[in-house]
Structures are given as structure tokens and as C-alpha cells.
Chain A
Amino acid sequence: MLKQYETVFIATPVLSETQMKEAVAKYLDLIKDNGGEVVYEQDWGLRKLAYPIQKKTTGFYHLIEFKANPEFIKTLEIQYRRDERIIRFLTFAMDKHAVAYAEKRRANQAEQK
């Protein structure tokens, strides 16, 4: 059964633009290969961190909302841990209130653009 998840990860600022895109693409393909489906994807770009992580004070934030079956989350997180470009990640199972909120957010995000 496909549950809805939301994952945010921070990539090191040392990466060039292309490497950053490649890292994101890698995870998107990973989701698609394992029978997942990407619902929404948002790039927050370079942001200042509230506290230095691994001696770096800024990072590329990226948000991916996707539907996947629960076993896939373990493999996703193993990939995150293995990948040195990603300095921090958080995956979050969305309940119905979270899903409703995400849709509303996407709606007004689209408006702003």
C-alpha cells in the first residue's frame, strides 16, 4: 500500500550546481525505480544553517514529497547515509492532516510563482 512521505535533505555547499542537480536526480530515480511516485519537489536553494554542520554554515535544501511503500524508506535512508554529499536528511510519514496542509501549501506556492 502506498503511503505518503516527505523527505528534506541538506547537501554540502561545496557542491557545484551540476553536482547538486545530479544528487537530486539520483534520489528521484531511486524513488521511481522502487515503485514510488514523486508527488511534489521543491528546491529551497542555498540557505544559512542555524548552527554549523560539519564545519559548514550554509547548505542546499531540497524537499521531495512522494508516495512509496514502507519497506522502501529503509533503503532510501541507507542511500542517504552512504552519500557524503548529503550532510543531513529527515524523512517524515504524512498523516491526513499533513497531506491536506501540503496541498494547501502547494496551492499558494503556485500562486506566488
Chain B
Amino acid sequence: MANQVNNEIRYLNPPTVEVKKKKYCRFKKAGIKYVDYKDAEFLKRFLNEQGKILPRRLTGTSLKFQKKVSQAVKRARHLALLPYVTDLLK
């Protein structure tokens, strides 16, 4: 029943299937071995507007480096280089 209804629906323009961009771990690609907690500018790329750490599924980093990044961000927060929570970080 469902598919009969389906083909009756005429789409104005064909539904664009979102092409899945292959995510890569930027640390492996760039060969970075150590995430520095003092470098707030670099760490900001892994935070969203509220200053929360972005999940791996969005940034695509591998588990090993995601842990290093989150450890570095927490150290930066301890040293008040990064805020724990804010509204407009970028």
C-alpha cells in the first residue's frame, strides 16, 4: 500500500540525496601528534558556540585524538584559557 502511494507523489524537482562526504581525522592527515592545551585558537575549532566539545561524528576525528583534544580542552578550561560555558564563542 505504501509504495503505491509513493509513486503517485510527483516531486517538482528530484529529491537531492545528500552525498556523504568521507570524514577524515585531521590529526592523522596532518600528522599532528600532540594537542597543545595552551593553544586556545586551535582548540576553539572543536567547540561549538556554547563552548561545548563537538562530538566525533561531526568533526570526524579518530578516538585516540578525540580523547587528546577533550583532555586538552579540559586543561584549557581549568586555566581559564577557554570558558566552561558561554553564549557567543566564535
Contact = CB atoms under 8 A, between A and B. Distances in A.
Q: Which one of B77, B80, B83 has the greatest number of beta carbons of chain A within 10 Å? A: B80
Interface residues of B, number: 15
Centre residue among B34, B82, B86 by max chain A CB count within 10 A: B34
Which of A49, A51, A59, A63: most chain B CB closer than 10 A?
A51
Contacts of B75: 90, 92
Given A98-B34, A101-B34, A90 B78 contact: yes
B84 interface: yes
A15 interface: no
B34 A50 contact: no
Interface of B: 33-34, 36-38, 75, 77-84, 86
